[in-house]
Amino acid sequence: MQNRFTVVLGAGFALLLLFSWLAVSTLFMPRSSDRFAQCRASVIAGGSEQIGGAFTLVNQHGQSMSQDDVSKTPALLYFGYTFCPDICPMDTMRNVEAVDLLETAGQNVTPVFITIDPERDTPQVLAEFAEVMHPRLIALTGSDAQIKTASKAFRTYYKAHDQNDPYYLVDHSTMSYLLLPEHGFVEFFRRDLPAEQVAEKISCFLNAA
């Protein structure tokens, strides 16, 4: 009887120690420093700070703009080109639809389009493109070197076909990037995500910022 009591007492003491250890571990466990963790759907090697960086381009009005200028307000950024026959217009329309949905909900996001075809996408061409797409669209171009710098910062890919052909195409990646003031890049969205889901995810980031 005494041995059984000793075993029960020992087991109870062991459980008490276990629960105490779990409570202390939970109390002092490092908390995630990512305020947007509940919003993120993507995983980026090295963290979100690996995406984005300094660039200087020219908008459709001939004004110089940097990433800091672009992200003074929340921005949804896309790399494409206006001569693109299908993908770029569709992706840009998806983005501006998401922007309009957010605006209806009282959240302001600026759509941004960076060309990967500066040879043909002059400020004038981009102005016409922006006028068709959205009244608040910022369309950016620059020299070949400036476009490459911006593309490299966001880890995008593009490659022009034979540029001797006036109707040449450009292969390119199709991600859209969310930038927030004081945070820079925070998330990317694949092109198969519908506007409603893009707007919902962006709203999560805006509410957490």
Check residue 21 and give its pLDDT.
44
The backbone region for 182, taken as left when phi is positive above 0, alpha when psi lies in -120 to 50, beta otherwise, is: left
Please tell me the distance from the alpha carbon of residue 54 to that of residue 67, in angstroms, as a whole number.
6
Other beta carbons within 10 angstroms of residue 40's beta carbon come to 15
Helices (H), the chain: 2-28, 67-70, 87-104, 123-133, 144-153, 195-208
Residue 45: the pLDDT is 66
The model's pTM is 0.82
- Residue 206: the pLDDT is 98
- Residue 1: the pLDDT is 52
The tens-digit pLDDT sequence of the chain (209 residues) is 555 545 444 545 544 444 454 444 444 444 457 889 999 887 776 677 789 999 999 999 999 999 999 999 999 999 999 999 999 999 999 999 999 999 999 999 999 999 999 999 999 999 999 999 999 999 999 999 999 999 999 999 999 999 899 999 999 999 999 999 999 999 999 999 999 999 999 999 999 98
Strand partners, 189: 176
Q: Which residues pair with 187 in a beta bridge?
A: 178
Q: What is the pLDDT, as a whole number, of residue 176? A: 98
Alpha carbon distance 91, 77 (integer Å): 11
Structure tokens belonging to residue 6: 């000793």
Residue by residue, DSSP assigns 37-84 as: TTT-----TT-GGGS----EEEETTS-EEEHHHHTTS-EEEEEE-TT-
- Give the pLDDT confidence score for residue 10 in this predicted structure: 52
Q: What integer pLDDT is reported at residue 169 of this predicted model?
A: 97
Do strands 56-59 and 158-160 pair parallel, antiparallel, or not at all (unpaired)? unpaired
